[in-house]
Amino acid sequence: MRTVYKDAEVHQGTPKRTIGGFTKTTSNINPRTEIGGAKSNISQKAISKGEASKFKTTPKGMWQFRLIGVLLFIFSALLTISLISYTPKDEINSQIGMSDIWGIITGNSSVYAKIGMISNWLGVAGAILSNFLFTYTLGFVIILLPAILTLWGLDLFKSYSISERTIKLTIIYFVFGLMFSATFGTFSLFGWFPDLSRQWYGAVGEFTARLTNNLIGKIAGLSLYLAAMILTIVITFKIALKDALKEAGVFFSPVSSKLKPVFGKVTDTVSSELDKFAYKTVEQSEKLNIENLVPFGKNTQYHSSNPQNVSPALGITNDEERIIPSEPDEPVRIIRRNLGIDVNKFHNSSNEDLNISLKTQISNFSNIQSYISNSEKVENKINRDNEVNIITNYKPISHDIKSEQSVNELLEKLKSDLVAKHILIDEETPANEKPLTIEVNELPVETKVEIDFHNPLSTSIHDEKIKYKKPSLDFLDEEEEITKVNDEELKINAKILQEKLETFKIFIQNLSVTPGPVVTMYEFVPAPGIKISKIESYADDIAMALKARGIRVLAPIPGKGTVGIEIPNHKPSLVRLGSVIRSNKFQQSDFKLPIALGKTISGEVYMTDLTRMPHLLIAGSTGSGKSVGINSIITSLIYKLHPKDLKFVIIDPKKVELRQYSALKNHFLAISPDINEPIITSSEDAVIALKAICAEMDLRYDILAEVGQRNIFEYNRKVAEGKIKTEDGKVYREMPFIVLIIDELADLMLTSAKEVESPIIRLAQLARAVGIHLVLATQRPSVDVITGIIKANFPARISYLVASRVDSRTILDDGGAEQLLGNGDMLFLPSGSPKPIRIQNAFISTEEVERICESLEKQKGYSQPYMLPSLVDKGIRADKLSKEDCDPLFEEAARLVIRHQQGSISMLQRRLKIGFARAGKIIDELEVMGVVGPSDGSKARSVIMDSESELEAVL
């Protein structure tokens, strides 16, 4: 059916109706129809534009498409602003929960302060959106998404539909984006490639790269993605490959023109040397006066008139040796090996594996007329093993043979020439009966020595090399402007101090003031005849006169003939860890394990070396800054050492203080294979970890004893220099330092005092020489927590604010800690120092620690954490434990436990009438066999097996 509009024509017998001055006729006629004897083309072109506009109707929902297009415009603009103002620093501040949302509604100042740190131009929403798109989608390529959305909005606004061109560009964009992110995700898997943040490839690229890596490997995956990207670009821009290659040739033509003379000189030199050699060969051939030699067989490989000419044809020259297969009907395959060795030292060479098989068949020597013929053509092909196939054409050279003696001389000369080239001639049969066979014996292949990596320190993780990048200093907040102490305040305090002491008949001479960030030191020389102990007794009176707390009297100051009184400032300054880490003193220090503690009362950066302590004991009440101090110790070590040189074992019974360091599992943490969590929180796991560290210590001492070294410093230095010889296949590697950190010792001593105290004492006494150091912290510095043996092995101690003078004496053997200000104000007693030093601990916030840990977590670490020795005895593993290895009462005890469903030592004692030690051993065997579960304190063990039939299957 076809609809035709005509002005005046009416088709008979055809339905019609008039619309707007036109006649609408429905017919089955062809578009080209003859009317009135003339041919007329019926087309819409006959309708003028003005008339055609009368039939355009407004599509339904047009305003809806336009509205969607406008919304896409607006969203694209906002998305562009969000993406271009993205910064990784906003990731932490943009993590808000319901409590933060409620804080925004209620006007919480802390929440507003957190939001105020966001630098994205669209605020929290922009930070969340941009972080999600960059990190969890395609990475940086997502920056082109607003352009695609703009094209969609433009099509919807103008034509109320999506054009084919826009759909094609969208598909190309997502394909190219996927390949781009997958390519950079694959690059991140290479150890030699610079570390890339996740924003380069996003979660999609990381997943795709790891998927292809597991299926086809990194190299194949990278090649696949690069080829797909190039193909996408070619299809998108309709690039002709022929033209592209032509343009590339034009681009590289200047380089080739410069290199052409160089290669030309090399070619000319080689050609000249070959010409000289050929001329010399012909000249020697003419001296033999041999002519009229003709080919003598179909399978003859080489023909020559003299031995001097045979040698080059065989590929044997003075400088090189060619290896030729002996198939007579196949092209000759020549393998070049540059020997360059003396003949007498041939059999001593073990660096070249020669495989030469040469067979030359010569028959009917009396009728020899020619020994040179045109050799068969050989295809040129060079492979990886420097195998060369050469097409050679040797023209026959005619010489006269006067007698049979000349032929014999020729053969003798040929034989001597071949023997000089280390070729053995098989002469079991006369030459006139069988063809001459020349074979070259194959040299024995040198076998490689396999190294047995049975040394526990020689695990695969020590063979790994990671490209570690230290955390950026930008993760640490800048120090606020230090508030200087007002000179008027200093004068007033000095005057009050002088007047108060004069009331007690203590006169001051030469008063000097040293202002610090938190405390100001007032030093003076007392008048002759004044007892120092008398000045110390007036500390509370001086504090009352100055209306200050935390006053500490040093009488005298060590190394000086003065008395010091430390008085807090009215407006203390905050000392941030960032200022200490950025200081030249820290950056240029040569300490093995540098710890940045903070600043002294004079404002100087104070740092120490953990290896010289060698262990550290910390005490302080709740809120005094103890946990911040531990964070500053860990952070300063992370900023200074490589993961291969340092490992942490962190025990946190509080479960929340040091949990963020679990992100360093594959970088800085050492864990026990018997524990399932990187940060140890339970007392049972803490006991296992302490025993595992003791086993590590014993293992290291065994290694030091084997190589004859006294400590880890000498051992690591000689291993690095390669001065330690390996024997019996053992491989010695550098040992990393291990720092054990226990955040709350009192909790462990309360629950498992005996199990915890013994390994701590043993480590404190012996572990220093093998690079294991302890940092113990507690809120209760009482004698039942810090026992005498523990205290004796921890000469270096830190005390924050404590509750009483007794606690201060327990930790420092001196008072003063009870007078501290809190908030990081501490007394540090170095090893061997008679008096503690007052230091303001550097402050590091939880947000800073999280930024550092998250940045390290994004870096590629080791494939597994540093594993401490397992405590499970390999001799009694479940897969090797048999009934003969168990106690004679094992089976009876197992049936008794299963029958009563109670794994109790006391029950076995009563029922079997045995002692406690034997019953405990049987319970341990039952645990290994899977009959009962692990220990749960003083409670009976849970019984895993339900019936004796399960026990029979195990037995």
Just give the CATH number of 874-954: 1.10.10.10
pLDDT at 669: 94
pLDDT at 112: 72
pLDDT at 428: 42
pLDDT tens figures, 698-721: 999 999 998 889 999 999 998 888
The model's confidence at residue 265, banded by pLDDT at 50, 70 and 90, is low
User: When comparing pLDDT for 725 and 371, which is higher?
Assistant: 725
The model's confidence at residue 638, banded by pLDDT at 50, 70 and 90, is very high
Q: Do domains 487-568 and 577-861 have the same CATH topology?
A: no
Least confident interval from 509-513, 592-596, 887-891: 509-513
> pTM, whole model, 2 decimals?
0.49
Alpha carbons 439 and 736: distance in angstroms, whole number:
57
Q: State mean pLDDT over 486-503.
A: 84
pLDDT at 118: 82
Alpha carbon 42 to its chain centroid, in Å, reads 75
Alpha carbons 600 and 359: distance in angstroms, whole number:
89
Q: State mean pLDDT over 414-436.
A: 43
pLDDT at 800: 94
The model's confidence at residue 9, banded by pLDDT at 50, 70 and 90, is very low
pLDDT tens figures, 134-160: 888 988 889 999 999 999 988 888 888
- pLDDT of 927 over the 80 cut: yes
How does strand 508-515 pair with strand 437-439?
unpaired
Ranges 329-333, 837-841, 862-866, most confident: 837-841
pLDDT at 94: 67
Q: Which residues contact 391 (CB under 8 A, 6 or more apart)?
A: 377, 378, 379, 380
Least confident interval from 272-281, 356-365, 624-633: 356-365
- pLDDT of 598 over the 50 cut: yes
The highest-level CATH class for domain 577-861 is alpha beta
- pLDDT of 298 over the 60 cut: no
pLDDT at 51: 43
Q: State mean pLDDT over 930-946.
A: 81
User: When comparing pLDDT for 34 and 816, which is higher?
Assistant: 816
- pLDDT of 202 over the 80 cut: yes
The model's confidence at residue 245, banded by pLDDT at 50, 70 and 90, is low
Nearest to 673 by CA among 865, 860, 861: 865
pLDDT at 788: 84
HSE, side-chain direction, 13 A CA sphere, residue 422: 22
Alpha carbons 848 and 9: distance in angstroms, whole number:
88
Of the chain, the percentage scoring pLDDT greater than 70 comes to: 66
DSSP symbol at 653 = T
**8 A C-beta contact, residue 555 and residue 597:** no
Alpha carbons 589 and 609: distance in angstroms, whole number:
10
Least confident interval from 578-587, 612-621, 697-706, 919-928: 919-928
User: When comparing pLDDT for 402 and 407, which is higher?
Assistant: 407
Q: What are phi and psi of 127, to 5 degrees?
A: -65, -45
pLDDT at 738: 96
Ranges 266-280, 303-317, 318-332, 641-655, most confident: 641-655
Alpha carbon 192 to its chain centroid, in Å, reads 10
Alpha carbons 317 and 335: distance in angstroms, whole number:
13
User: When comparing pLDDT for 118 and 334, which is higher?
Assistant: 118
Bond prior to 430 in cis (omega within 30° of 0): no
Alpha carbons 538 and 272: distance in angstroms, whole number:
104
In DSSP terms, 425 is beta-bridged to 438
Name the residue type at position 36: G
Nearest to 744 by CA among 771, 710, 779: 779
pLDDT at 740: 96
- pLDDT of 790 over the 50 cut: yes
The alpha carbons of the chain give a radius of gyration, in whole angstroms, of 45
> What are 777's two structure tokens?
């912290």
Mean pLDDT of the chain: 73
Q: State mean pLDDT over 622-640.
A: 92
pLDDT tens figures, 431-457: 444 443 333 333 333 333 333 333 344
User: When comparing pLDDT for 842 and 286, which is higher?
Assistant: 842
User: When comparing pLDDT for 664 and 243, which is higher?
Assistant: 664
Helices (H), 572-711: 577-581, 584-587, 626-638, 683-707
Alpha carbons 650 and 661: distance in angstroms, whole number:
9
- pLDDT of 915 over the 70 cut: yes
pLDDT at 102: 79
The model's confidence at residue 295, banded by pLDDT at 50, 70 and 90, is very low
**8 A C-beta contact, residue 771 and residue 697:** no
> What are 212's two structure tokens?
């292809």
DSSP symbol at 659 = G
**8 A C-beta contact, residue 492 and residue 499:** no
Q: Which residues contact 296 (CB under 8 A, 6 or more apart)?
A: 303, 362, 363, 364, 367, 368, 369, 370
pLDDT at 843: 93
SS3 at position 50: helix
The model's confidence at residue 15, banded by pLDDT at 50, 70 and 90, is very low
> What are 488's two structure tokens?
């008027």
pLDDT at 884: 65
Just give the CATH number of 487-568: 3.30.980.40
- pLDDT of 91 over the 80 cut: no
pLDDT at 694: 93
Q: State mean pLDDT over 222-243.
A: 78
Q: Where are the domains of the chain?
A: 2-55, 58-151, 163-239, 240-287, 289-439, 487-568, 577-861, 874-954
pLDDT at 255: 53
User: When comparing pLDDT for 770 and 261, which is higher?
Assistant: 770
Alpha carbon 69 to its chain centroid, in Å, reads 45
- pLDDT of 210 over the 50 cut: yes
User: When comparing pLDDT for 849 and 282, which is higher?
Assistant: 849
Q: State mean pLDDT over 633-649.
A: 94
Q: State mean pLDDT over 56-73.
A: 74
pLDDT tens figures, 330-362: 433 333 333 333 333 334 433 334 333 333 333
pLDDT at 60: 58
pLDDT tens figures, 760-783: 999 999 999 999 999 999 988 888
